[in-house]
Structure 1
Amino acid sequence: MTLALIVVVVGVALFFDYTNGFHDAANSIATSVSTRALTPRAALLMAAVFNVIGALLGHGVAETIGNGIIGPPRGDHGMVIVLAGLIGAITWNLVTWYLGLPSSSSHALIGGLAGAALVSSSTVHWAVIFEKVVIPMVLSPLVGFTLAFVAMVAVLWLFRRASPGAAARRFRAAQTVSAAAMSLGHGLQDAQKTMGVITLALVAGGYHSGTSVPLWVTLSAAAAISLGTASGGWRIMRTLGRGVIQLDPPRGFVAESVAASVLYTTAFAFHAPISTTHTITSAIMGVGATKRRSAVRWGVAGDIATAWVLTLPASAAVAALAYAALFWLA
């Protein structure tokens, strides 16, 4: 049964990666589409391509997911834990997508794995979760908001004498680069998380050893998230692009640039699986706050924050129920 179970787990993991792509497509392109820097079709195509490129740039985050969140699962029972964790993550992705709420696919996956492992009496590395997930979950939005606010103030001062129309055209062109950078960061962070889960399943089934990610896993995860991104995520895109604040090209450029910088730093320097959703959303709030306090729709921001807080426990609860059902069926 092990081989068949591995095939099922890999298939479900790639489906999670696909949902991650269309759920988080807004992270990469909502700002560029809302400011009309890119057409939706061009933005989706560009995001899909740079998601693939980003997925091929490293495996540090994948190794954290594959080796650091739960104890190394073994055999069919271990793969059931991974499968239940994926079901929890996918369920939360679909619920928040339907509601149009930008939530973290990364935290949904981590919460799902932890919930399934906890209910199965397997090892959960709480210290790693606290260090690599909880602390970055709190710090990355604060850093994103603060850096975006400061950078936007600097841009407003540097271009204070520029013609508004000319400045908007230049920043609209610059957003092509910043949106590509954001898409690259999304692939670098989010595609690696699926690589880590598939590697975890292969180790559990005895088809792989160590934490290195096989090439076929890298390529398949990159392809799945790219296909998901190309299919769009219009519900969440409307929330990010217009629901939080009405963006203009300078603010869109700054938000994307700051968010991409945070994603690169955490992936390469700390191997921390942070949320692209939290990072870009907080950056959008940061640039919006430079207008006036009322420019940010804080009610929408509150709904988003509620989804952020609920992601880990909700996905963990669904994964725990899924594990119980799978264990009973087996």
Structure 2
Amino acid sequence: MEEIDFKRHRRLRKNAFMRDLVRENHLSTDDLIYPLFVVEGEKIRNPVPSMPGIEQISLDYLADEIRELQTLGIKAVLLFGIPNEKDHVGSGAYDENGIVQKAIQLIKSEVPEMLVIADTCLCEYTDHGHCGLIIDGEVANDPSLQLHVKTAISQAKAGADIIAPSNMMDGFVKAIRKGLDNNGFSYVPIMSYAVKYASAFYGPFRDAADSAPQFGDRKTYQMDPANRLEALREAEADVEEGADFLIVKPGMPYMDIIRDVKNAFHLPIVAYNVSGEYSMVKAAALNGWIDEKQIVMELLTGFKRAGADLIITYFAKDVAKWLNESSLKQGKKA
């Protein structure tokens, strides 16, 4: 046969060990952040119907949950609180005895090394379901900032390692950074929801967190899914205002944005693998249409390839188990 001059890319794919050797992106338990929904009361484990495998849990079950995560090698959690009572100003968000504040204290007392990230928003605590104060029928930006600052300070006082404001008010990072610094928390970093789109992929989360808006939508403060350059403007403002991490949310439909943000800024980039993405995969897997493990591992590796340093995902426990099983098998082979 006549020799043909072409490149032989398959040389680097010929067996599993070779593929492992040249793999460009690796997923590990260090990359994972697990969201938790904590509720008031006792002996509560409420399954979220639209998110198979995810539950709302009461504080008396929280310590066991955290110890399980620690055993799996997961080092960080993101806390969302569901209070018994809501009001128009979301006072439960900044109550020093609020559900998230209690959860933070419990986690830090039981497993001090677990990194606790506190979601800093009002939507779970307001009776109208919006992320800020309603004045004359509109979500008011500047007056809302004062409540977000109060929330961040109360969470830091409770022991939160990282403050994660998700409200998308203009100036929220600057206001919270100033509030934390002025109250002795200059060492507490801000993981900003810098790029948060007004997405249909949040539907199941709103069931889990009981945070659906009671009127209108969030399109006046969350971003238009059609926009790309706006994401860079939003992220740049947060960097200038003092953000330490930048979240892109959702993750799966916005991998181009993850890459853009990664290329533009030298901060840790966080992909949020949101509830709708989780639920779609779970539903297809439960119907036997896909291989859940293969799909999830490919998806999360895709986030890493796109530029994410960290991934917030409801699959965290499953992924940690799969990674640990793989490590054990490799150990036995060695």
TM-score, reference length from structure 2? 0.26
The structure with the greater share of residues assigned to strand is: 2
Which has the larger Rg?
2
Greater relative contact order (Cα 8 A, min sep 6): structure 1 or 2?
1
